[in-house]
Amino acid sequence: MTKPGIKDIARLSGVSPATVSRVLRNPGLVSEDTRTRVMAAIDKAGYKPNRFGASLRTQKSGNIMVVIPDITNQVNAGIIRAIESEAQKAGYCILLGDTQGKPEREQHYADMVNSGQADGILLFTANLPFSLDHSRPLLGQLPPLVNANEANEYDEIYKVVIDNRAGAQAAMEHLLELGHTRIAAVLGPLETPTSRERLAGYRQALEHANIEIDEELIIPGDYGTESGRLAMEKLLKLRHRPTAVFCFSDDMAIGAVSVLHQYGFAIPGDMSVMGFDDIRYATLLSPALTTVHQPLEEIGKASMQLLLQQLKGEEPEQRYIVQPFSLVIRQSTGPVPR
């Protein structure tokens, strides 16, 4: 038999299609009696409402677009998992968009929302891939949207982030307390606000401690393991080496650690290494990595909830949610070598 439609169920249970629809969407409107009869027919026929028909009528897809720069990244993956779980609970599906850093792909995914394929969008990039008329208020021009993790410049937009500057400061203060004064930084991509914020925290902590900033110790990076390796190679070649290095991601820290091991340096004996993110592997590294913990689960959950509220038409009480970070001190940091 061909796949049953709402009409088939209607016929089977001796009611009109309208009533079948009500049984599914609004059971309260239907009498106990017919409801059970219709439900029985639905079960027996194995009827699944065709989403297209419903979507066409309601103009709701039941999908949420999630745009991330790289699914392979542990931080993103962790957040996505939470998001997916929340979405499913709320009856939504996740459309995954991995931009691999390319703006045209961002654009493409944003169009999904414009064409109605998704009801809302969760952006993990700082860019806003929508054409905007800046003379008018933003909110009216945008679909339901939440910007998470990488905060863009627009104040009006719903956001979920951690205080990256404070996180970096906390990291630095830990190193300063251990007596380090020559502390290198390995940055993330400077296009990302996250990385700029962390850099600001780095500078601020040093200034606060009255330590002159040596630009030679600030090494560019891209959050990836390989760039951590390269950065450490560079640092080791310096005639006046740092005694500690603050990597803006755990991945880079892991890269840096591997280079130190390779050349036989002791951690933290010869150099302290500090990460950022607290990915799953941080604790398994030898020595276990001191780092700044990001609550991935909570970030994901909060983003999703903020989006769901918008989709329900509610006005969330706050449009800017800051999740708490925490400094996790493990074994990769220690006092300055004498």
Partner DNA sequence: TAAAAGGCTGAAATCGTTTACATCAACAGG
Partner DNA sequence: CCTGTTGATGTAAACGATTTCAGCCTTTTA
Residues that bind a second copy (CB under 8 A): 46, 48-53, 55-56, 59, 61-63, 66, 70-72, 74, 77-78, 80-81, 84-85, 88, 93-98, 100, 105, 108, 111-112, 114-117, 131, 225, 229, 254-255, 257-258, 261-262, 280-281, 283-286, 288
Closest CB to DNA among 45 and 170? 45
Torsion of CA 248, 250, 254, 255, to 10 degrees: -40
Closest to DNA by CB, 7 or 208: 7
Q: Give the one residue of 12, 24, 178, 299 binding DNA; rule: CB under 7 A.
A: 24
Identify any residues that bridge with 326 across adjacent strands, giving them in sequence order.
Answer: 293
Amino acid at 332: S
Is residue 15 a contact residue for DNA (CB under 7 A)?
yes
Interatomic CA distance for residues 79 and 300, integer angstroms: 5
User: What part of residues 50-109 is at the interface with DNA (CB under 7 A)?
Assistant: 50, 52-54, 56-59
Of 32-40, 130-138, 250-258, 293-301, which part binds DNA (CB under 7 A)?
32-40
Which does residue 213 touch among DNA, a second copy, none (CB within 5 to 8 A, set by kind)?
none
Q: What's the distance, Cα to Cα, between the start and end of the chain in Å?
A: 82
Would you say 56 or 213 has its CB closer to a second copy?
Answer: 56
Q: Decide if 106 contacts 127 (C-beta within 8 A).
A: yes
Helix 32-45 to helix 6-13 angle (10° resolution) is 120
The reply to whether 220 sits near DNA by the rule CB under 7 A is: no
- CA torsion, ordered 271, 272, 273, 276, to nearest 10 deg: -160
108 burial level (CB within 10 Å; 0-12, 13-18, 19+): middle
Site for DNA in 42-61 (CB under 7 A): 47, 49-50, 52-54, 56-59
Q: Give me the least distance between CB of 286 and a second copy, in Å please.
A: 4
Residue pair 218/247 in contact by the 8 Å Cβ criterion: no
The region, left, alpha or beta by phi > 0 then psi within -120 to 50, assigned to residue 116 is left
Number of amino acids touching DNA (CB under 7 A): 33
Judged by CB under 7 A, does residue 117 bind DNA? no
What does the binding site for DNA look like in residue numbers (CB under 7 A)?
3, 5-7, 14-22, 24-26, 29-35, 47, 49-50, 52-54, 56-59
